[in-house]
Structure 1
Amino acid sequence: MSWLRALKETARSGLTIERRRLEPLIAIRGAVGLALVIGVGLAFFGPVVAASSAFGAFQAAIATFQRSWRPRPVLALVSGASLAVSTFLGYLTGSHTPLFLALLVLWTFLAGLAWAAGPTGGIIASSNVAIMLVTVTLPNSVANSAVHAAMILFGGVVQAALIVLFPVRRWGAQRDALADALAAEADYARRLRHDPLCAFDPVPLMKARSAAAVTPWQARRRPPELRGSRGVAERIRPVLASLADPAMGVPAEGRERDRVRELLAAAGSVLDSAARAIRHGDPVKLSPSAVAVLKTPDTGSLLAGPPRRAADRLGALLSDVIETAEGAGTKEEDAEEAAEAIKAAEEEAPGAPHRRRPTLLRLVPVVVRAMRAELRPGSPILRHAVRVAVVVAVGYLIGVSLPFGHGYWAPMAAVMAMRPEFTQTYGRSVARLGGTIVGVTLATVIVRTAHPGVTPSAVFAVLCALLMYLLMRTGYVVGQACVSAYVVFLLGMAGEAWSQTVHERVVLTLVGGLLAMISYAAYPAWETPRLRGRLGDWLKADGRYAAAVVDQYAEPAERGHDDVRSALLDTREARVAWQEALATAQHEPVRNRGLSRAAADDTQHALAQLGRVAMLLEAHLPCGGATPVPAAARLAEALRRATERGAKEVRERRVPDWAEVREALDAWDARQRTGEGGTDPFVRNGAGLLLEALEEFSRGLDGTSKPARPGDRAD
């Protein structure tokens, strides 16, 4: 993509306004907390301290809107405390420009590295730097600085207290995540009726799993209906695919296929009912026709073999879904949840497969390790930290050297706009300038017309904050317009004339946005050159998952399913990372480097097919007393080694060869012909499909793959 087109696309994305579900009660609660803090500040300390404390309450409320599964009061407290520390340190060094600049660079660099801990931590850290640039100009002594810092912390405490005293839809985010996962599977079941090979996006299941991780405090208070349903939903997905896939034994048309379609429709209805019940905390209301389809004995007379096993398993799993949605839960899941509620959070390393969320104190070493891991050449997070630190320093020096005064607008605009990713940085820079012009213009008109005093300015500031909380999810440009007007009114309340904050804010915001955009062009972290690495990671994860599943058939009595589950989670993470990288690369002004769009499409189709076949095999994993298939062990090892070697070859711009996998399959066939060892046509057929997917991957990478047939889509 050319630079001109990339700029157009990012500008359009930054100025986009979307229709989103509004949360007026939460917005009102945040605005009430802000009003209380401003009122206390005005009554006891005056308008300057009130303005400073208002920034703390404002930021604490914004932190609670971030996409995080932690308790909202904790987010408000963390935001208020971290902002108080940041501003107090800034106060102590504010009168010495070189010392303050050094602190600013260090603080900004650490805020950039904080993105390694996730977007919520990165946004809070960046906001602390931005607000610190404003609040350090308000006090004039160390004693006043301590008062300002204490009031900023007070703002966070007030917001946290309001969340505890006036909760709005407790566990709403976790309910939505679990309900979305069940609704996604319901939609998948319905689509399978018409397209047995349709794709399934695992992101809702991944979000539900992330939401299921709880702190000890949450574990003691989690509603019963949030325990167990996710685990059942995870097991339903492969069963649905296995029931619908013609390769499992059900013909494309006929009475058997009609029965499968009826079962899939009933499953979709039950899953939708469970999703609605969990989302709203209501009893499950099932469709009588769906219940009748699932309980009819005709299924046993029409289906046989793997489809019959899948139908029986589907009925049992749907019963578990209903029980857990009603709050009863299964004995297996209740035992699992009880064990998780009392064991310590030993698995705190980033990316560890666990469902325990560490407390804040235990999270500190996790975040430190994550930040230290990014201190390596080529890390996008490290590049972002360096970029934002340099830009903030340069923006601050430019701002103080210009005759406008209030030079903090330029670095503040830059640090709030910059993100580790190209599209967001450029889009937010454009949106910030547009929102600033709109917000400052409207606030200026009101100030010129009404000439508000301290109290009316405070009221206008609270109203702007209310609009910000209400509309912030509709688009960054809308939120920025509200923030710009909020700051104008708040500084006007503190004694700043509107003429001192309008023109300079627009000009310096433009300077900050331009610095952010130039810095990314000069020191980029493009995703395009890393596409082959992402593709290799997905290939390796898919191969490990397929090998883990096949290995279960070799010695069923000696195998647990933990390695299959771990490999499945890894392949989901790798797949989503690839898809996000591919979407990001499509908007980057970078020439293709070794992976054409056609090759990307063909190879991701092949890897999706590889994962889908492994999932179908997982749906029919043998029990401990099943007959072993010794040849599966050699195939599993061949898959593991070949895909690891293939991932390396992909990164080195070579086409992988799957001779080792073919040899393992030939040896398997030879053992079957001689009658040596156990045989299982179902597993052997799946193994052949795995090899076909790998060969299709190599053809796609080499540019020699055949066009996909209309129905030849993979999950």
Structure 2
Amino acid sequence: MSWPRALKATARSGLTVERRRLEPLVAGRAALGLALVVGVTLALLGTEAAISSAFGAFQAAIATFQRSWRPRPTLALASGASLALSTFLGYVTGAGAHLALFLALLALWTFLSGLAWAAGPTIGIIASSNVAIMLVTVTLPTSVAGAAGHAAMIAVGGLVQAVLVVLLPVRRWGAQRDALADALAAEADYARRLRQDPVAPFDPVPLMTARNAAAVTRRQARRRPAELHGARGLAERIRPVLASLADPALGVSAEGPPRARVREILAAAATVLDAAAHAIRRGEAVDLPPGAVAALRTPDTGALLTGPPRRAADRLAALLDDVVETAEPRTETASDARARPTLLRLAPVVAAQMRAELRPDSAILRHAVRVTAVTTAGYVLGTALPFGHGYWAPMASVMVMRPDFSQTYSRSVARFGGTLLGVGLATGVVQAADPGVYASAALAVGSAFGMYLLMRTGYAASQVCVAAYVVFLLGMGGSAWTQTVYERVVLTLIGGVLAMLAYAVYPAWETPRLRGRLADWLVSDGRYAATVVAHYADPAGPVCADVRQALLDTRATRIAWQEALDRATHEPVRHRGLSRAAADDAEHALAQFGRVAMLMEAHLPERGAPPVPAAATLAEELRRSTERAGKAVRERRAPEWDELRETIATCGPLMEDPLLRKGAGLLLDALDDLAEALATPSSPT
């Protein structure tokens, strides 16, 4: 994609307003916390303390809106405490009085916030926001004691938001309920699509999200509703059973009475899964339509389906019964919850992840270097310019910069557009009404409420409210609107331009790394298939921990590939060895390879079943061949499957299980398609 097209695409995405379900109660609770903090501190301690506490409460509330499965009070407390520490250290190092010392701290703090993205977007966003708000709050104190007081008020702001989350709960466990319900609903949609397309693709993201949501701390495990435990694991097991039931390669013809029966079972399964998803989302009892229950239990299944399809239908009915039982609200809680470390125990894990990114080829390290250089340069430039309020430039930069090109550019455009509109609207109100301290505080709280309400509908929409919030908040301290409008707009533009220039000068493009991402997916797919096939040689039943882990690994590499491909689509660089057409064909081939392995997993032999010794040889060759192929893909060579083809030809007659024999051939066909896709001459995208 050329630079003009890339800039146009990112600008359009940055200004897009998404249609999302609004959460007015949650937004109202966050605004209430902000109002309490501002009102009380304004009445008791004065304007500057109110502004400090407002920043703490404002940022803490934003932290509770992040897509994290940790308790919201914990996020609010962590945000308030880290911002308080940042502000105090910023003042002690001498912001304004000792510019060189403060710049050193700013560079260190910004570099660490950039590396924090290695631990995930939630920690990255909180760390970046702390740097941005620190740039403002360090200008408020006038002494070390005053800095300590301001830091304390910021921490109090976070504490108030945490207490309100506890006292005024809105949909307890709502995020976890939604994640699990979305996974079951995705399974239901998959079942319906399989009725028309027996080889329909399935997006594993909802299942991965539900898995992340299922990890809890010990404290959470004691309080988690029982219906949130167990259904996710069942949904994981249902997906391959649905696929194997629908696939014509396993015995059910494309038309005729057996296929009609399969479609009926799939429709009934979709109805049951939707009912379970609805019950879990709302915390209600499962309401099963009688027609769906009757369709699953009709006795003619045995007369119409035989072999693998019959086993799949029976297993599906049993799994759906378990889903319905698990989804019923109960009082007891699960004792074997997936463990999530506390924040204190998470600290060394995050530190290790950050250290792991200290390597030359790391996109996170490049982001940390970029954001550090831009923030410090922006602060120096903003201080040197005769505008005053020079912190707006670095604040804009650190807030918009992300590890990838498209988000950085789209957010830069959205922030400038939102700032221009928000400052203009707030200025009009100030000019027309000339509000006093308390009226400005009320307007600031109202702007914050709008931001909390709209923050998930698009970055541009939320920035309108953020800009107005800052204008009104600083107006409480006596800053005239003329001191915040022109300077903030110009400096925000400078900060956005610096951020975009930094990515152009020192990029971290995904496009050249696409082959590596594809190779990772291929190797993990091969290990998954090899692990499944190996269990035919050593039957251990349908539920195996090593198969489960291999499946999770291949899902993670597949999602990493898809995310990288999406980012590369908007980058202004050539394909460098992998055209878009080749990438699409290779993705289809690997998805088919993983799907065949999943079908074989759905029919793993029961413990004690007769072993198939030849399967062990095939499994080992699958692992070796895909690892060699992964190396070839990284080196821009087409993979070869001669040894695997010979192994299948040799072992095929020795494999008595027809499903295993058929699956081996389908795996090889998918790998041949992959080799053909990568052998296609590349053309610019």
The 5-angstrom pairing of residues 90-489 of structure 1 reads 90-93=90-93, 94=95, 95-327=97-329, 337-340=334-337, 355-489=338-472
Tell me the distance in 1 between the aligned counterparts of 2:582 and 2:336: 46
Match of 1:684 in 2: 661
Aligned-partner SS, 1:653: coil
Q: Tell me if structure 2 keeps the 8 A contact 1:552–1:559.
A: no
Name the counterpart of 1:83.
Answer: 83
Quickly say closer, same or farther: Cα 1:380–1:282, change in 2 above 3 A.
same
What letter corresponds to residue 146 of structure 2 in structure 1?
N
1:550 lines up with 2:533 in the alignment: yes
Q: CA deviation at 1:327?
A: 3.5
CA contact (8 A) 1:443 1:488 kept: yes
Asked if 1 retains the 8 angstrom alpha-carbon contact of 2:542 and 2:602, the reply is no
Q: 575, 579, 590: which is aligned to 1:596?
A: 579
Q: Which secondary structure state, in structure 1, belongs to the residue aligned with residue 455 of structure 2?
A: helix
* Displacement after TM superposition at 1:669 (Å): 3.4
Counterpart of 1:538 (choices 518, 521, 526) is 521
Q: What is the one-letter code of the residue matched to 2:304?
A: L
8 Å contact from structure 1 (residues 528, 585) kept in 2:
yes
User: Once the 2 structures are TM-superposed, how far is the Cα of residue 558 of structure 1 from its aligned partner?
Assistant: 9.9
Match of 2:562 in 1: 579
> Shift of the alpha carbon at 1:271?
0.2
Which residue of structure 2 aligns with residue 57 of structure 1? Answer: 57
> How far apart, in 2, do the equivalents of 1:328 and 1:452 lie?
53
Q: Distance in 1 between matches of 2:145 and 2:83?
A: 17
Distance in 2 between residues matched to 1:619 and 1:560, nearest whole Å: 10
Is residue 531–residue 595 contact of structure 1 (8 Å, CA) maintained in 2? yes
Offset at residue 559 of structure 1 (A): 10
Contact persistence 2:541–2:604 (CA under 8 A): no
Whole-Å separation in 2 of the counterparts to 1:542 and 1:391:
40
Is the CA contact 1:243–1:260 (under 8 Å) kept in the aligned structure 2?
Answer: yes
Distance 1:704 1:399, change over 3 A: closer
What's the counterpart of residue 710 of structure 1? none
**Separation in structure 2 between the aligned mates of residue 220 and residue 108 of structure 1, nearest angstrom:** 38
Distance 1:289 1:143, change over 3 A: same
Mapped partners of 1:493, 1:238: distance in 2: 60
Task: Output one character per residue of 1:652-688: Cα deviation in whole Å (capped at 9) or x when no partner.
Answer: 0011111121121122135x3xxxxx62121111011
Q: Which residue of 1 aligns with 2:66?
A: 66
| Aligned counterparts, 1:638-677, within 5 A | 638-669=621-652, 672=654
Check the 8 A contact 2:541/2:605 in 1, yes or no.
no
**1:284, 1:681 → 2: CA distance?**
39
Identify which of 587, 594, 610 aligns with 1:611: 594
The RMSD of aligned alpha carbons is: 1.4
CA distance in 2, matches of 1:559, 1:471: 46
Which segment drifts farther, 521-530 or 137-146?
Answer: 137-146
With the length of structure 2 as denominator, give the TM-score of the two structures. Answer: 0.98
Contact 1:374 1:381 in 2 (8 A): yes
How many angstroms apart in 1 are the aligned matches of 2:31 and 2:585?
51
Q: Contact (CA 8 Å) 2:118, 2:354: kept in 1 or not? A: yes
> Which letter maps to 2:206?
P
Distance 1:657 1:431 in 2: 47
- State the match for 2:675 in structure 1: 698
Q: Residue by residue, what CA displacement relative to the aligned partner does 1:18-72 show, whole Å, maximum 9, x if unpaired?
A: 1110000011100010011101211221011101110000000000000000000
Q: Could you list the per-position Cα deviations for residues 441-488 of structure 1 after superposition, in whole angstroms to 9, with x for gaps in the alignment?
A: 011001111111110000000000010001111110111110011001
- The separation in 2 between residues aligned to 1:558 and 1:53, in whole angstroms, is 58
User: Is 1:525–2:527 an aligned residue pair?
Assistant: no
How many angstroms does 1:339 deviate by?
A: 3.5
| Matches of 1:637 and 1:159, distance apart in 2 | 55
Structure 2 letter corresponding to 1:360: L
Distance (whole Å) between structure 1 residues aligned to residue 457 and residue 650 of structure 2: 59
Report the CA distance between 1:328 and its aligned residue.
5.7
| Farther off after superposition, 661-670 or 696-705 | 696-705
DSSP-derived class of the 1:20 partner? coil
One-letter code of the match for 1:236? I
2-structure distance, mates of 1:669, 1:393: 65
Instruction: Report what 1:349 is aligned to.
Output: none
In structure 2, distance between residues paired with 1:682 and 1:537: 27
| Residue type at the aligned position of 1:151 | M
CA distance in 2 between counterparts of 1:704 and 1:471 reads: 46
Q: Report the CA distance between 1:356 and its aligned residue.
A: 1.5
Cα distance in 2 for partners of 1:453, 1:602 equals: 64
* Number of positions where the alignment pairs a residue of Structure 1 with one of Structure 2: 680
Residue 389 of structure 1 aligns to a residue whose secondary structure is: helix
Alignment of 1:563-578 (within 5 A): 563-578=546-561
In structure 2, what is the Cα distance between the partners aligned to 1:155 and 1:477?
Answer: 26
- CA shift, 1:578, in A, is 0.5
